[in-house]
Amino acid sequence: MSHQSSNNAGCWTVGIIIVGLALLITYWYLFLAAAVLGGAVWYYLHQKHVKEAAAAAMQAKQAEAAAQKKAIEGSKVGRIRQFKQLLDEGAITADEFATQKAKILAEDDDEDELKF
């Protein structure tokens, strides 16, 4: 009896394969259309993901550049304060302070040109 049921299962499997192949041969254009449509949907979603990742990377890069610029400006403020303290103590003249301040503030323009 078990031999009979295994033959039946094999017969059904072969029958399903034959019917599947017959449908594939008869309606090949539908299968092709489904494959093309599926590929187009995948491509659209993939491109959307790539654009979102690029936008996120650009946003992160801009945030990093802004943080870096803020740090540079912060260090400039600190350096100018040091020169101001020297001016207040009388260690340097007002002209020397103005010269050093101008140099420090001009560094930002030079660094921006080098970065971008």
- DSSP for 43-60 reads HHHHHHHHHHHHHHHHHH
The span from the CA of 84 to the CA of 100, in Å, is: 10
The span from the CA of 26 to the CA of 3, in Å, is: 34
User: What is the residue range of 46's domain?
Assistant: 2-115
Per-residue model confidence (pLDDT) at position 2: 52
Task: Please name the residue that has the structure tokens 């192949």.
Answer: 21
In the predicted model, is pLDDT for residue 116 greater than 60? no
In the predicted model, is pLDDT for residue 42 greater than 90? yes
* Count of domains forming the chain: 1
- Indicate the pTM of the whole model: 0.46
Structure token pair of residue 101 = 């301040």
